[in-house]
């Protein structure tokens, strides 16, 4: 299987890896500590910007090798694959680079930001833990480019998606409003539990004494008594008198949770005018207090007060954990032109991380994206679809770093090479923390911030080549509405592999149409209804074997291509759509019947092992839509819960197919009567024939005999005999009665020359002939048998033994001294249960 | 068991923080990464072979994704295994600490090592793992401890499991020397075909050998030599001439090997594996003398050794531990050993029994300190080792002196892997409390063996639940000392969310007569509860009622609101068919749906019911 790099960012970087320098490119790194200040400055930059370039770094691209992008991906399947990737992997770095045209300086000013992001579970949300997948190759790749994982995990900015925020707010509302005061979780009532052991009882008594003492003191105090609280001194740390919501209270410190439980019990049981509360104090640690209350209504008031405060706190903490999403909200609300490079996956990531779960269909996704980001431009499409730019690119690769170095050499090389100034170039200046620089070392680090910067530069330069004059461009006008850009806005590569482009504003899909396209089309147009997916077949079968196997049944032109999804699964593309249902029907019936006839069927090779499954393209889509990701496709299908072996397709000619199938079986199960009417001599011919071959013209025997007369070469005869039934019958009648017999299963014909020990095998499907050296053929003739690949060797000397031999395995089985002309074996001769039938005159 | 001495709660705390927290930061635990791995290996090997026990402790990227995925008290060993398996297959080990140690009187002499691992695809074959899952909470917690992720990812040691190694070997197609096991299979009667085959090969080999050894060749022109080479099919193997003999079956391999024995004075046979498994060819290498032959064999061995080392990576250490056959001490053995099995041995088998069998081959004795703890008395379930040590310290007099003769760590970075030393310490304490005394270890190995055997290989005695019994519901369970048969357990779901077990119990109490008897309710997660019936048979009555039309009264009301019930076998099916939805209710619904559409499933249930009736879950152990 050919090696495919699944990672788009990967090849972007591989080409740029040659110039790795340590000199730093001015880039604003944003982490938890400086996020707030960076956000406010970024806000101004984005508001003033003409466009904003973005780039993302993820922990992986494909969750399993078969989830990679294939030519055989229909757009909906492609979307499912992108969806899977965006849902499973995490974004760990986000580059934002707002570009603004400075009319004074006649150049672009950009502020490249490099955000480290890492989603932490900051809110006590219920249920599933946050988790993400890491693809080991991607991690290793990031490590190669010195990605700072510590900065990301230790100090990355966390975030909440809009959906998570809504959920959290709803959760807060329901906990603080819906339920009655008593079942409120932080004041959870405890049932009367019996105190089991002496220590607990003693402790409870002590607490009771202390509390009543405190209460007594409090009441005396209020009644104008003096400050008497003598016995509390020893445990001042534990029982600290404070004021809680204008009420006297005790703050409990240094107790174990069990002790607190006992105290709570005591308060409930014995003190009507005390209330036990657990409130979240400062530093987010909870504080346990016992508050003095005047009456039941006072208690309610207190509870409400506490509750409201806690609700506000909870809402505040939710707001605080929005984090990096503020940046996305900013980009979305400003409706600026977003520029990315091959950014469909990036957009999907942004959607799933910061808005909500990805919709089930590509259509819904596109319309929602368009709502959030009305203008997106993909520089990769821009470069590929415009002929002026293609010329500029000199047909080089459109990977980001390549495009950057070709289009913006003066920037890439840090304005050092003056001789390149011949071509009109857009000037770009970088400003970080109010320090402007127009001269820098070409810091080609593989970082989101730098990639975003490169994307922006490529875009600016491309615009200038397209004839957009930034000097004329008024600052109020949105670049996205520019005439020259209009046809490129909102087009994204759904899949770079097969050049399918989707228009985000209309939802239309088009294939990349440019003739100048560098990509070669390896595959003819794919009709998905002609595709069957087969998996679980014996592991030694390769695409070619499978093609051969199926061609034996449906003819050499039936299969257009066989494509490996991974080592356990293939797509088989048939030439006609109805063959899909035919194939699945046939396979289904072979699965059911495990008789020797099915074993002899050409497809048996494919079905060996009994785990081979097949289904139409729709099933493939279904498997792709699962959230499970097993490494091997066959395991995935099992994990998805597919228990059948063949999924039939409803089709109109199904009944017809069944009929012909039965006919084939009739021939198979009783070969001697199969074609009796045609020729009597043929009766003893044991070879089985399969249905598809009978479609060849059956010429009248008289005519055939004429042809025979012209043929002198026995090889030729054997080839023709393999094509036509009546030809073969006639052949038997008239010529060479036993020098050759063609097995319809193996398509192996042997002619021989008893002096040379050579045999010739020919394959009518491929029209290839193979000569082979057969030591077994010494002093004997050769005939074939009914089982794949086995030859019958007939000795010239009749007293010698007959052998079944396998020219490939160099194996030989002695049959004795019979005078057989043909031999039928029930199954492979290697099987101990094999029954051999020999026929002689 | 009433403790003999109970100090004031405050004193316990301060006491334990002083003794346990202080020490660990001075424990010199050797940190091992890719850079110092090879040089440390021999030292580790020595320590392993001279130790009595080996403690292990893992730092993973996650454990359970949803509350119900955690192994809990209502799990049978089988479902517990399936849960552990699910975790082991998804998450990754980032740190693997081992500590070979000796017990001498009240002294533990320990040699702790902490290995940083990262599954790097060094051979570009998608191994050892294509991807792995991380839980943010785990990573954040590791970050808080000062874990250096850059070291881990840049410089972590990679590895391959045994199963992966053998596929890699096949795929790399490196020639293997013939060991006598493959050679000495009984030779069946030769058929004519065999004889022909052998003779043909023999003559080829003879010609080639003669041509090679023929001294006249040297006088020939270069062209003639190369022509001869082509005709004879000779190749070079290193500096020696060799010849490849193609074979079609394992039988032919045997035949060729047997035939080559006749030339064993100068020819060394090598087997070249085929890509899809099996043998592709046999290669005969010509050596000039007996001496040269031994030299070749040695060369092959070192080549294989070097390659294995490169391929195995960290598994070399696992192999060392396995080869030493020393008892292994772990804290949460089910969890740790499912990880170890899946990362370093082979993919996890589908059930617990196979797992234990397979594991026992590599590690004959695994001791879980949690199980030792159980013998001491009704110890509260503790997953925190430090807390357990503190607990023991307060109740028993068993001072253990830790001696770590490792040299001071040369690494500047933070020291990780304290847990493994704590496990040693805890084990030492437990041994002294349980009178598996170090003296006994020294005096008689048999005694030790029998004592250890009592505790070895019990993977599932205490489920790894660390929930503190603070909730009222769970307290109710703690008092319940009975073992409950799975048959008496019913899973309930479809009620409104955020209901408490108490409320649910109240609702159920009046709803049907089966709830007139004693029963217990406990929440599994927010979506699902389990009900345990005190009286056998009631669970079936209840399930039948739920499925019949006769359901009436308040229960009917609840069913109309969406309440559903299923027996324990449905839960087992959820685990065995891998329906790891985030809410148990969804998983149970799915299991029921797939169950209904499968006709053959009726048979399955019958079996599992039989199986179930013998199965007891221990609800008292919390």
CB contact residues (below 8 A), chain B span 65-124, against chain A: 65-67, 92, 118-121, 124
- Quick check: A257 and B62 CB within 8 A? no
pLDDT of residue A190: 47
Q: Rounded distance, CA A703 to CA B529, Å?
A: 83
Answer whether A449's CB lies under 8 Å from A52's CB.
no
Q: At what angle do helices B315-324 and B34-50 cross, to 10 degrees?
A: 0
CB atoms within 10 A of CB B137: 15
If you count them, how many residues does chain A have?
841
Strand A491-495 relative to strand A500-503: parallel, antiparallel, unpaired? antiparallel
Q: Is the pLDDT of residue A89 over 90?
A: yes
Helix, strand, coil % in chain B, rounded to nearest 5 = 50, 15, 30
Q: How far is B141 from chain A (nearest CA, A)?
A: 10
Least confident among A22-31, A526-535, B176-185: B176-185
Say whether pLDDT at A187 is over 60: no
Average pLDDT over residues A188-206: 66
CB B30 within 8 A of CB B404: no
Q: Which of A129, A641, A643 sits opposite B135 (nearest CB)?
A: A129
Q: Is the pLDDT of residue A462 over 60?
A: yes
Contact call for residues A488 and A96 (beta carbons, < 8 A): no
Q: Is B60 left (phi over 0), alpha (psi -120 to 50) or beta?
A: beta
Task: Give yes or no for residue B419 having a pLDDT over 90.
Answer: no
| Dist CA B306 CA B299 (whole Å) | 11
Please state the three-class secondary structure of A770-821 as a single string.
Answer: EEEECHHHCCEEEEECCCCCCEEEEECCCCCCEEEEECCCCEEEEEECCCCC
Q: Are A72 and A563 in contact (CB under 8 A)?
A: yes
Tell whether B6 lies on the interface with A, counting CB pairs under 8 A.
yes
**CB A835: neighbour CB atoms within 10 A?**
10
Tell me the residues of chain A between 163 and 182 that have a Cβ less than 8 Å away from chain B.
174
Q: What whole-number distance in Å separates Cα of residue B423 and Cα of residue B501?
A: 36
DSSP A432-490: ETTEEES---------HHHHHHHHHHHHHHHHHHTT--TTTS-TTS-GGG-HHHHTTTT
SS3 state of residue A278? strand
DSSP A182: G
- Residue with more model confidence, A266 or A771: A266
Q: Which of A461-475, B4-18, B72-86 has the lowest mean pLDDT?
A: B4-18
Confidence band (pLDDT; 50, 70, 90) for A676?
Answer: very low
Reported as a pLDDT band with limits 50, 70 and 90, residue A43 is: very high
CB A742 within 8 A of CB A722: yes
A184 CB near a chain B CB, below 8 Å?
A: no
Question: With 90 as the cut, is the pLDDT of residue A718 above it?
Answer: no
Mean pLDDT, range A453-463, rounded to an integer? 88
Q: Which of A423-427, B33-37, B390-394, B455-459 has the highest mean pLDDT?
A: B33-37
Tell me phi and psi for residue B582, to 5 degrees.
Answer: -75, -25
pLDDT, one tens digit per residue, over B35-83 is 888 888 888 998 998 888 899 999 889 888 888 888 877 788 888 889 9
Cβ of A191 within 8 Å of Cβ of B67? The answer is no
DSSP characters for B364-382?
Answer: S-EEEHHHHHHHHSSPPP-
A131 has a chain B CB within 8 A of its CB: yes
- Quickly state the pLDDT bin for A94 (edges 50, 70, 90): very high
| Chain A to chain B Cβ contacts (< 8 Å) | 141
Q: For chain A, what percentages of helix, strand and coil (3-state, to nearest 5) are there?
A: 40, 20, 40
> Given this model, what pLDDT does residue A659 score?
39
Are A502 and A509 in contact by the 8 Å Cβ rule? The answer is yes
pLDDT digit string, tens, across residues B263-302: 777 788 887 776 656 677 777 787 777 788 888 888 888 8
Dist CA B64 CA B465 (whole Å): 12
Distance in Å from the first CA to the final CA of chain A = 52
Residue pair B343/B355 in contact by the 8 Å Cβ criterion? no
Q: Does A259 touch chain B (CB under 8 A)?
A: yes
Residue B384 pLDDT exceeds 60: yes
pLDDT higher for A459 or B612? A459
Q: Which residues of B touch A140 (CB under 8 A)?
A: 120-121, 153
Q: Does A440 touch chain B (CB under 8 A)?
A: no
Compute the residue count for chain B.
Answer: 622
Q: Is A729 helix (H, G, I), strand (E, B) or coil?
A: helix
Q: Between A90, A136, A805, which is nearest B193 by CB?
A: A805
CA-closest candidate to residue A325, choices A131, A99, A165: A165
Q: Which ranges of B192-277 would DSSP assign to H, the alpha helix?
A: 192-213, 222-232, 250-260
Range scoring the smallest mean pLDDT among A234-248, A420-434, A679-693, B219-233: A679-693
Q: Which token pair is B579?
A: 């329906």
Confidence tier at A350 by pLDDT (50, 70, 90): very high
Q: What are phi and psi of A66, to 5 degrees?
A: -75, -10
The predicted structure's pLDDT at residue A698: 46
B150-A404-A424 Cα angle (round to 5): 150
Distances (CA, A) of A462 to A380, A382, A383, A471, B123: 11, 8, 8, 15, 41
CA angle B123, B128, B130 (to 5 degrees): 95
Interface test with B, best of A795, A810, A830 (most B CBs within 10 A): A810
Average pLDDT of the residues in B347-364: 87
* Tens-digit pLDDT profile for residues A586-618: 888 887 776 666 666 777 788 877 788 888 888
How far is the C-alpha of B361 from the C-alpha of B346, rounded, in Å? 12
- The residue-averaged pLDDT of A202-211 equals 84
Position A669 confidence tier, pLDDT thresholds 50, 70, 90? very low
Q: Is B198 on the interface with A (CB under 8 A)?
A: no
Average pLDDT in the B89-114 region? 88
pLDDT category at B91 given cuts 50, 70, 90 is very high
List C-alpha distances in Å: A766 to A547, A556, A634.
Answer: 11, 8, 30
Indicate if the alpha-carbon torsion angle A205, A211, A215, A217 is positive or negative: positive
pLDDT value at residue B477? 41
| ipTM reported for the complex surpasses 0.90 | no
Of A373-377, A815-819, B358-362, B445-449, the least confident:
B445-449
Identify the residue with better confidence: B94 or B307.
B94
Give me the pLDDT at residue B22, please.
39
B550, B508 Cβ separation under 8 angstroms: no
Mean pLDDT along residues A244-253: 79
Nearest to A138 by CA among B129, B163, B34: B129
**Of A255, A243, A331, residue with least CA distance to A46:** A331
Q: Give A171→chain B minimum CA distance, Å.
A: 10
The overall average pLDDT reported for chain A is 71
| Chain A residue with Cα closest to B69 | A128
* pTM: predicted TM-score of the whole model, two decimal places: 0.72
The DSSP H or E segment spanning A411 is helix A409-412
Q: Parallel, antiparallel, or unpaired for β A337-340 and A51-58?
A: parallel
How deeply is B528 buried, as exposed, middle or buried, from its count of CB atoms within 10 A (0-12, 13-18, 19+)?
A: buried
- H helix or E strand, kind and range, residue A168: helix A162-173
pLDDT, one tens digit per residue, over B138-175 is 888 888 888 888 888 888 898 888 888 887 777 766 66
B231-265 pLDDT per residue, tens: 666 667 767 777 777 777 777 778 888 888 877 77
pLDDT at A84: 92
Closest residue by Cα to residue B522 from B547, B505, B497 = B505
In a mutational test of the A interface, the residue from B130, B525, B594 whose CB has the highest number of chain A CBs within 10 Å is B130
Report CA A421 to chain centroid distance, whole Å.
44
**A53: pLDDT strictly greater than 90:** yes
The confidence score (pLDDT) of residue B431 equals 81
């Amino acid at each position: 299987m050919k090696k495919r790099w699944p990672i788009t960012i990967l090849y972007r970087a591989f080409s740029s890896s040659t110039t790795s320098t340590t000199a730093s490119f001015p880039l604003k790194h944003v982490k938890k500590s400086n996020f707030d200040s960076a956000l406010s400055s970024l806000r101004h930059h984005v508001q003033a910007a003409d466009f904003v370039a973005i780039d993302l770094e993820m922990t992986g691209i494909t969750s399993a090798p078969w989830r990679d992008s294939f030519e055989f991906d229909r757009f909906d399947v492609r979307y499912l694959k992108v969806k899977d990737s965006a849902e499973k992997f995490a974004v760990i770095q986000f580059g934002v680079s707002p570009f603004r045209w400075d009319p004074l300086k006649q150049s672009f000013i950009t502020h490249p930001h490099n955000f480290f992001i890492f989603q932490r579970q900051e809110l006590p949300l219920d249920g599933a833990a946050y988790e993400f997948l890491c693809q080991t190759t991607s991690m290793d790749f990031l490590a190669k480019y010195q990605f700072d994982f510590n900065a990301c995990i230790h100090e990355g900015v966390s975030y909440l998606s809009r959906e998570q925020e809504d959920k959290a707010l709803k959760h807060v509302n329901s906990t603080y409003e819906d339920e009655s005061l008593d079942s409120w979780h932080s004041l959870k009532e405890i049932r009367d539990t019996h105190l089991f052991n002496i220590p607990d009882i003693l402790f409870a008594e002590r607490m009771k004494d202390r509390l009543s003492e405190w209460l007594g003191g409090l009441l005396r105090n209020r009644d104008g008594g003096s400050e008497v609280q003598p016995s509390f001194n020893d445990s001042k740390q534990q029982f600290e008198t404070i004021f809680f919501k204008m009420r006297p209270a005790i703050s409990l410190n240094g107790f174990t949770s069990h002790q607190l439980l006992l105290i709570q019990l005591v308060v409930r049981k014995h003190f009507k005018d005390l209330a036990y509360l657990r409130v979240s104090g400062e530093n987010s640690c909870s504080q346990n207090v016992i508050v003095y209350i005047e009456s039941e209504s006072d208690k309610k008031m207190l509870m409400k007060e506490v509750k409201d405060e806690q609700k506000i706190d909870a809402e505040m903490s939710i707001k605080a954990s929005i984090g990096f999403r503020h940046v996305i909200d900013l980009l979305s609300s400003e409706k600026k032109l977003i520029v990315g490079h091959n950014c469909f996956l990036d957009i999907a990531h942004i959607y799933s991380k910061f808005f909500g779960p990805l919709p089930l269909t590509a259509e819904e996704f596109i319309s929602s994206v368009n709502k959030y980001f009305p203008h997106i431009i993909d520089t990769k499409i821009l470069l590929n679809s415009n002929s002026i730019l293609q010329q500029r690119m000199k047909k080089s690769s459109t990977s980001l770093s390549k495009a950057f170095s070709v289009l913006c050499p003066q920037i890439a090389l840090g304005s050092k090479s003056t001789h390149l100034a011949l071509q009109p170039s857009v000037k770009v200046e970088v400003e970080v923390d109010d320090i402007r620089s127009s001269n820098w070392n070409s810091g080609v680090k593989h970082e989101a911030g730098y990639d975003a910067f490169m994307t922006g530069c490529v875009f600016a330069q491309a615009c200038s080549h397209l004839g957009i004059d930034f000097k004329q461009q008024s600052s109020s006008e949105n670049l996205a509405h520019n005439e020259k850009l209009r046809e490129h806005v909102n087009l994204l590569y759904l899949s770079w592999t097969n050049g399918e482009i989707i228009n985000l504003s209309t939802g239309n899909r088009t294939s990349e149409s440019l003739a100048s396209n560098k990509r070669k089309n390896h595959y003819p147009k794919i009709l998905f209804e002609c595709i069957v997916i087969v998996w679980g077949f014996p592991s030694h079968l390769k695409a070619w074997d499978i093609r051969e196997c199926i061609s034996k049944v449906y003819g050499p032109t039936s299969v257009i291509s066989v494509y490996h999804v991974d080592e356990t699964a293939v797509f088989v593309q048939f030439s006609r759509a109805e063959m899909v249902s035919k194939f699945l029907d046939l396979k289904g019936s072979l699965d059911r019947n495990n008789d020797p006839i099915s074993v002899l069927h050409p497809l048996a090779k494919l079905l060996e092992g009994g785990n081979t499954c097949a289904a139409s393209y729709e099933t493939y889509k279904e498997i792709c839509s699962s959230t499970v990701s097993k490494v091997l496709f066959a395991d995935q299908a099992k994990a998805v819960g597919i228990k059948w072996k063949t999924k039939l397709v409803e089709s109109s000619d199904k009944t017809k197919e069944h009929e012909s199938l039965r006919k084939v079986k009739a021939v198979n199960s009783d070969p001697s009567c199969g074609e009796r009417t045609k020729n009597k001599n043929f009766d003893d011919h044991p070879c089985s024939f399969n249905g598809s071959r009978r479609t060849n013209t059956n010429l009248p025997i008289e005519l055939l005999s004429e042809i025979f007369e012209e043929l002198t070469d026995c090889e030729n005869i054997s080839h023709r005999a393999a094509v036509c039934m009546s030809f073969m019958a006639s052949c038997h009648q008239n010529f060479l009665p036993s020098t050759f017999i063609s097995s319809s299963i193996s398509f192996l014909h042997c002619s021989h020359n008893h002096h040379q020990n050579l045999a010739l095998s020919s394959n009518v499907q491929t029209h290839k002939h193979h000569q082979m050296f057969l030591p077994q053929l010494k002093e004997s003739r050769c005939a074939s048998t009914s089982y794949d690949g086995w030859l019958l060797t007939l000795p010239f000397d009749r007293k010698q033994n007959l052998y079944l031999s396998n020219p490939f395995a160099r194996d030989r089985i002695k049959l004795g001294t019979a005078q057989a002309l043909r031999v039928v074996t029930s199954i492979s001769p290697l099987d101990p249960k094999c029954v051999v039938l020999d026929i002689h005159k | 068991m009433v403790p003999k001495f109970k100090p004031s709660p405050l004193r316990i705390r301060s006491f334990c923080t002083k003794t346990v927290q202080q020490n660990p930061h001075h424990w010199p635990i050797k940190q091992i990464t890719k850079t110092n791995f090879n040089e440390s290996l021999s030292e580790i090997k020595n320590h392993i072979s001279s130790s009595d026990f080996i403690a292990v402790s893992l730092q993973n990227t996650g454990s359970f994704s949803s509350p119900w995925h955690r192994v809990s008290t209502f799990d049978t060993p089988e479902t517990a295994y399936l849960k552990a398996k699910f975790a082991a297959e998804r998450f990754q080990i980032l740190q693997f600490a081992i500590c070979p140690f000796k017990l001498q009187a009240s002294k533990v002499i320990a040699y702790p090592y902490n290995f940083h691992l990262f599954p790097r695809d060094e051979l570009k074959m998608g191994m050892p793992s294509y991807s792995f899952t991380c839980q943010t909470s785990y990573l954040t917690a590791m970050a808080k401890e000062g874990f250096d992720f850059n070291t881990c990812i840049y410089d972590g040691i990679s590895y391959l499991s045994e199963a992966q190694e053998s596929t890699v070997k096949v795929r790399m197609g490196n020639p293997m020397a013939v060991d006598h096991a493959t050679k000495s299979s009984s030779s069946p009667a030769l058929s004519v075909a065999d004889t022909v085959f052998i003779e043909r090969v023999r003559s080829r080999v003879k010609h080639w050998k003669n041509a090679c050894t023929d001294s006249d060749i040297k006088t020939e022109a270069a062209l003639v030599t190369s022509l001869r080479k082509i005709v004879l099919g000779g190749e070079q193997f290193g500096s020696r001439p060799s010849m490849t003999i193609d074979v079609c079956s394992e039988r032919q391999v045997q035949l060729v090997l047997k035939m080559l024995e006749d030339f064993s004075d100068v020819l060394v046979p090598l087997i070249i594996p085929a890509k899809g498994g099996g043998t592709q060819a046999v290669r005969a290498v010509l050596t000039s003398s007996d001496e040269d032959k031994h030299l070749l064999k040695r060369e092959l061995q070192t080549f294989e050794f070097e390659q294995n080392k490169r391929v195995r990576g960290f598994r070399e250490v696992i192999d060392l531990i396995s080869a030493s056959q020393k008892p292994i001490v772990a804290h949460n053995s089910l969890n740790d050993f499912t990880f170890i099995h899946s990362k370093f041995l082979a993919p996890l088998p589908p059930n617990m029994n196979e797992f234990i069998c397979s594991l026992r081959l590599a590690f004959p004795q695994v001791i879980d300190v949690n199980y030792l703890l159980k013998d001491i008395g009704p110890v509260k379930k503790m997953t925190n080792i430090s807390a357990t040590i503190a607990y023991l310290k307060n109740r028993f007099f068993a001072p253990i002196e830790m001696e770590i003769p490792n040299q001071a760590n040369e690494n500047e970075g933070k020291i990780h892997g304290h847990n493994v030393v704590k496990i040693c310490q805890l084990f030492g304490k437990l041994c002294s409390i349980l009178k598996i005394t170090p003296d006994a270890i020294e005096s008689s190995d048999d005694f030790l063996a029998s004592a250890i055997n009592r505790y070895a290989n019990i993977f599932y005695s205490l489920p790894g639940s660390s929930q503190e019994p603070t909730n009222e519901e769970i307290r109710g369970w703690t008092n319940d000392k009975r073992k409950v048969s799975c048959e008496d357990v019913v899973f309930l779901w479809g009620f409104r969310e955020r209901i408490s077990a108490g409320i649910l119990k109240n609702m159920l109490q009046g709803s049907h007569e089966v709830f007139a008897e004693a029963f217990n309710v406990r929440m599994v997660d927010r979506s699902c509860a389990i009900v345990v019936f005190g009286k056998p048979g009631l669970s079936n009555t209840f399930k039948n009622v739920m499925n019949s039309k006769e359901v009436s009264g308040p229960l009917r009301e609840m069913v109309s609101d969406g309440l559903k019930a299923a027996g324990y076998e449905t839960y087992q099916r959820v685990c065995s068919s891998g329906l790891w939805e985030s809410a148990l209710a969804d998983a149970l619904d799915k299991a029921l749906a797939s169950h209904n559409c499968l006709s053959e499933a009726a048979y399955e249930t019958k079996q599992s019911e039989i199986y179930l009736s013998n199965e007891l879950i221990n609800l008292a152990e919390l």
